[in-house]
Structure formats: structure tokens, C-alpha cells
Amino acid sequence: MSEITVSGFERSKLINELKRVKSMGFSDQDFEQINEHGVLLEDIKKQLAIFKRGIAKMELIEAATVGNGILKLTHEEFVEKAVFFDEHKTNLKLLKFVPASGAASRMFKFLTTFMNEYDIDKESINAYINRKKNTKLRVFIVGMEKLPFFEIIYKKLKEEHPDFDSFSRDYKNYYFIKFMLDARYFDFASKPKGILPFHKYATTIATPIEEHLYECGYYSSSNNQSYLHFTVSEEHQEHFEQIIDRVKDKVEIETQTSINVTYSYQDKKTDTIAVTMNNKPFRKENGELLFRPGGHGALLENLNQLDADIIFIKNIDNVILHNNDTIALYKKALAGILLELQQEIFACLNLIDSFTATDHQIEEIKVFLKEKINIEVKADFDLYTFENKIKVLKSILNRPIRICGMVKNEGEPGGGPFWVKNGHKEISLQIVESSQVDLSNKKQVNIMKHATHFNPVDLVCATKNYKNEKFDLHQFVDQDSGFIVEKNYLGKDIKSYELPGLWNGAMANWLTVFAEVPLVTFNPVKNVNDLLKEAHQS
């Protein structure tokens, strides 16, 4: 074991940690690796225990629907909420939080598979499509000239092959896909989605980064100031900065908004240990332990570091052509719902702190919880002493707040809104992924089938309390709601643990309101063909 330099004060602590490591079956070298990685030994111990016992599935009570957990507003009410937000945002710091570290590999997966399987000398592309029933490839080839990057790739093809126009149709299509994916040329599948060409305008081509900058000006600004935070992979930050340096001045002039852009990385201390299929710590060929990123739930640490009054959360790929008033209206409306609710919550908490609350007011707060936040106090609440009633209500009310936009379910994969019962028999509204449900239980599957809405990761959050202090968001996580996923490492099957999802278990104990928003607000680019949809075509 190489020497670790520590102060005398810390030496005894290290010795104790080393003893604990060895008691768990790890070596001196493992201890050094764990120490250098920054992962807490206690977290590793918990993760190994989770692999052995498994993760309990969520208990669904029923799907949240309009009028039963999902708020439905008229267009006029959406306008009223948006106006309320504009009228009350003056003294607020508004921030947009965009997870953007993932590569675009899934976006081009069907094309990567095609390049790996297809032999142009043995069959036509049409024969391959028919043999594989690959409708995605057919759609791509039919619509490829409408893609925002078509002309860029075509120009490169002409440079490399001056006689390109004389190629057969199959060779043209084949080489187009090859150049798009080849590491020597465009390498799109290995790049983060944020830097890819998404939208073609008359004189420019915009990336998702640029579209998010525009959105800052449209709905996430106060006093002509806006804050935008990207979570990125460290090796990709430079690419983000280059794009922002190129377009930021133009966007700021057009939106009359000064945009402050910051970045953070997924903290390595949130990585989780991988295990074999027999739940033993997996070791790489050099004998080292394997740690993997803890999923998007790890970004709770990034969110926790941010200082803002209102935080809009939206995925990097969920953008449409800018100058869209509809998107701005509904995002502002969700923020208006949040501010109205927050004002009422803060009024309740200040009343409680004033020691002047009456029995009648306590009863009003109880009704407010049920009608506005879908929280019903325990059945024996009325038997509590007045002091205990106050204590219970304060513990319920003094939490971060999230307003979650929900769109009607049209078969998109991902989480949905449900009424859920936890291990303490408490019922609450949660966003639940299908992997969290016992799919062998017919009753649970039937409840899932009755889901009417889908979570598009469209959140507006407040992470400060009524005294204007930041909450420690780690205090509101359902630690039992992580995921065990099966992966492959260099041809070997392994299991990995993912932390409670950022908008799932990581926010399980927040005050939550689900509100229906139109489908137009949800236009993600999950595969490259989505760029052919109307929302992404000028």
C-alpha cells in the first residue's frame, strides 16, 4: 500500500476506517482506491446490503388522474397563473437546471446497430429493412434531407468523394450514416446531445444549448437577469463553452436578458460499487473494484449546491424551435402555481411560529393540506395535544416544494404519477418508474395500465424555507427507492445500484403538486427521427 500522508489528528480515524474496510473483506489496496475515489465506506456497506436483500417494490394504490391528484386548469387559469408569476418575480433569483452530461448513443442506437450488421456488398438497404423489420431506419432514410445537419454532412461527403453524386442511392445512404457516426468525421453518437445540431433556421443551425439560452429569456428571468446551470461531463464542458461563447451575445440581445451560465459535474463520491451476479464486489482485470455513476439521482448533490428562489428543471433534449410563446406560458404558469402555494405555506408556518394560532386555524391548515397539497394527516390527529398538532403540521409544511407538469400518456416510456403507500403506511403522490413496480403482481400491473398521464421531467421547484434558508435536500430522500440494474462490463454481466431518481425517490418527501400541461410542452429527442417531427422543423 502506498503511503497516505495525514495529520496526527486524522491518523487514528484512518486506522479505524482501515479496520472497518478489512472487516468487510477489502484489502489495503481497496482501501486506498475507495479513499481516492471519495466514496464513503458507509455508503458501500449500505449498497452491498441492498444487493443482497434487493429493493422492495413500490406499492401503488391507484393512478393519479385529473381531479384525483392531478390539477387541471383552463387556458384562462394558466394565463392568470403566468401573470401572477410575472407580477411576483421581481425580487426572486430564477435559475434553470439542465441535466446534460449524457452522450447521444441511444439517440443513434438503431443506426449504430445497422452499421455493425449491414454488408453493402451482400444486400440492399431495403432488403435489410424488410429482413429486420427496421421501420426506424426506413423513416430516417426517407426524411434524412430534412435533418438539420444534412447539408453539413453532405458537404463533407462531397469533399471526401468528389464523385459522390454518381453513387447509387444505397451507397449514398450508407456513407451518409457512416460519416455521421464515424469517429474520424462527425462521431455524433459519442457526443453529448447538448452540442448536436437540432434545429435549422433560415441562416443558422441551433443546438439544444442555444435553445435553452433562449428559454431563459422567455420564462426564467427576473429584472433582465437569468441563471442557467448545466450538469456536464468534465471532458465535454469545453464544447458547451465554445457554443455559448458563439451564441450568447446574440441570444441576450434578442431576449434582452443577461444570462449567467454555470456548470457542475456528477460528483465521483456519488458513484456506486458494482457487484457480480452473486452479489460479490466486481473486480476489473487489474484487481481494482469497479465503481459506476449512480444515475440521475446523483444530481441531487448538484441541485443541493445551487442558490436560487425558483428552479426550473428540464432535460437537455426537450426543446423546440425558439420564439415559442406557448412554452413560456405554461412554464410561467407552473411557477405561478408554486409561488401562490408557497405564499400560503409560508403564511401557515409564520402563524405557527407566532404562537397565536387558534384551534380553528389549525383545522383550516389541516383542510389546506388536503385540498391544496393532497396530504391527509393521520386519523388520530384530532386526539393530539395542541402542541403536538403544531409540531406535526410544521414538520409537514416545512419542506421543499415541487410543481410537476404532467402530459397525457401517449405510450412514452418513463415515470408516471401515482398514489403510493410507503413502508410507514403513509399515502402520497409520487412519480413512479415501471422498474419500481412488481410486474408479477396483476393488481399492480392493472393500476399501472390505468395511468392517464406521463412525467415529462417538467418541474418548477422551491428549495428555500420560510426563513429564506436553503433546505438540505438530502433530508427529503426516500432512501429505499433506488434501482438495481443489470449491466455488462467487457462482456461480463454485473449488477449496479442507482440512487433514488432525481424526480422520483430523491424528491419523495417534498411537497408535491401535479398539474396537467399540454402535450406541446413535451418534445424530447430520444432518437434522431424525433428531429423530423413538426416541433423541430422550421
pLDDT of 153-174, one tens digit each? 999 999 999 999 999 999 999 9
Q: What is the pLDDT of residue 418?
A: 96
pLDDT exceeds 60 at position 90: yes
DSSP string, 219-231: HS-BTTEEEEEEE
**In the chain, where the domains are located:** 8-53, 106-190
Q: Can you tell me the distance from the alpha carbon of 44 to that of 47, in angstroms, rounded to the nearest whole number?
A: 5
Q: What is the pLDDT of residue 1?
A: 41
End-to-end CA distance of the chain: 61
Q: What is the pTM of this model?
A: 0.93
Is 326:521 a contact under the CB 8 Å cutoff? yes
Helix (H) or strand (E) holding 431: strand 427-432
Q: Can you tell me the distance from the alpha carbon of 208 to that of 193, in angstroms, rounded to the nearest whole number?
A: 7
Average of pLDDT values for 401-412? 89
pLDDT of 117-131, one tens digit each? 999 999 999 999 999
Q: How confident is the model at residue 20 (pLDDT cuts 50, 70, 90)?
A: low
Residue type, position 139, single letter: V
Q: What is the pLDDT of residue 2?
A: 44
Give backbone dihedrals phi and psi of 475, rounded to 5 degrees, phi first.
-80, -5
Ranking 39-43, 193-197, 249-253, 533-537 by mean pLDDT, the lowest is 39-43
Q: What is the pLDDT of residue 465?
A: 98
pLDDT of 73-86, one tens digit each? 999 999 999 999 99
* Whole-number average pLDDT of the chain: 93
pLDDT of 91-100, one tens digit each? 999 999 999 9
Give the residue among 240, 232, 292 at the shortest CA–CA distance from 264: 232
Q: What is the pLDDT of residue 417?
A: 95
Radius of gyration of the chain (CA): 26
pLDDT exceeds 60 at position 6: no
DSSP 281: B
pLDDT exceeds 80 at position 528: yes
pLDDT of 408-432, one tens digit each? 987 766 679 999 998 888 899 999 9
pLDDT exceeds 80 at position 489: yes
Give backbone dihedrals phi and psi of 507, rounded to 5 degrees, phi first.
-115, 20
Q: What is the pLDDT of residue 3?
A: 46
Strands ordered across the beta sheet of 416-421: 59-63, 416-421, 427-432
Report residue 153 as a C-alpha cell. 454532412
pLDDT exceeds 90 at position 222: yes
Give the residue among 175, 211, 179, 176 at the shortest CA–CA distance from 193: 211
pLDDT exceeds 80 at position 253: yes
pLDDT exceeds 60 at position 10: no
Average of pLDDT values for 437-464? 93
Report residue 254 as a C-alpha cell. 434578442
Give the residue among 112, 108, 179 at the shortest CA–CA distance from 527: 108
Q: What is the pLDDT of residue 8?
A: 55
Q: Can you tell me the distance from the alpha carbon of 274 to that of 420, in angstroms, rounded to the nearest whole number?
A: 29
Average of pLDDT values for 216-234? 96
pLDDT of 345-374, one tens digit each? 999 999 999 999 999 999 999 999 999 999
pLDDT exceeds 60 at position 7: no
pLDDT exceeds 90 at position 393: yes
Average of pLDDT values for 482-493? 90
